[in-house]
Amino acid sequence: SVVDINFGCPVKQITQEAHSGSYLLRYPERVGEIVRRVAEACHPVPVTAKIRLGCTRNHIVACEVAQTVEEAGAAALTVHGRTAQDYFQGTANWERIAEVKSVLRRIPLIGNGDIDSPAKVVEAFRRWPVDGVMIARAALARPWIFRQAAAALRGEPIPPDLTLPEERELLMHHYDLVVRRFGPEKGTLLMRKFACCYAQGRPGAREFRTRVSRVSTPAEFHEVVHRSFPRVESAPYDRAAPPGANPTA
């Protein structure tokens, strides 16, 4: 396992109220101190860090923070190519992510931002000097994207997207894992948000989202999936920006 410290979160409750997440990018030394202490406490479990480019577009600090994080003993660094000010607007700036590579001596650089297809994974490795890529929102809608990306990187045929029955089965498996981890009550509430990301773009997906976002017991969850999970395929469809993939939601 790995402990990953999130110095990139732009959500107001985290930055303004808790003075955490991307708020800390104003204070590279404090970021370094946190990484150092967590790495010492967690040894031999690797500690990694995730940052944004900076707090504002006028003050990009990724290279400075990256050096501090490396010197503090982190095992890897992920850079999301937006500032906290950008939140999720515009597009991730991969040129800025790439600049970080030149200041790192030892640890791998993982690039993050707007990768939503196997082709974009291949393109990121081809264009930018990154050692890895991180996929977030696209994986909420298509958890199988990792399998597809791995095939694309090996130069093999890309496995097709799941059919609706397969997607439904995956949703139930996801639900079972979450309930096993968090218990039936909390697990069901947590799954409201993630279930909404399934079956996007298919006829009936909106109704399914409306219903599943109100369930509060395992019986209700099963009932809604049984009755309302979309059954009619439609293609092509656009699942690039999953609703519910908003960290404030």
Ligand X SMILES: Cc1cc2nc3c(=O)[nH]c(=O)nc-3n(C[C@H](O)[C@H](O)[C@H](O)COP(=O)(O)O)c2cc1C
- Placement of tokens 């955490």 in the chain: 20
- If the CB atoms of residues 136 and 190 are measured against ligand X, the closer one turns out to be 136
- If the CB atoms of residues 65 and 245 are measured against ligand X, the closer one turns out to be 245
Dist. CA 82–CA 113, nearest whole Å: 8
According to DSSP, the residues that pair with 21 across neighbouring strands are: none
Instruction: Give min distance, CB of 87 to ligand X, in A.
Output: 10
Catalytic position from the list 9, 55, 196, 197: 9
Question: Order of strands across the sheet with 132-134?
Answer: 3-7, 47-52, 77-80, 109-112, 132-134
Instruction: Give min distance, CB of 89 to ligand X, in A.
Output: 12
Residue 25 token pair: 């990018």
Question: Side-chain half-sphere of 202: how many Cα atoms within 13 Å?
Answer: 22
- If the CB atoms of residues 161 and 222 are measured against ligand X, the closer one turns out to be 161
Instruction: Decide if 197 is catalytic.
Output: no
Instruction: Give min distance, CB of 232 to ligand X, in A.
Output: 28
Instruction: Give min distance, CB of 199 to ligand X, in A.
Output: 18
Residues within the interface to ligand X (CB under 6 A): 6, 8, 50, 80, 112-115, 135-138, 245, 247
Dist. CA 134–CA 113, nearest whole Å: 8
- If the CB atoms of residues 48 and 188 are measured against ligand X, the closer one turns out to be 48
Dist. CA 185–CA 201, nearest whole Å: 29
Q: Which residues are catalytic?
A: 9
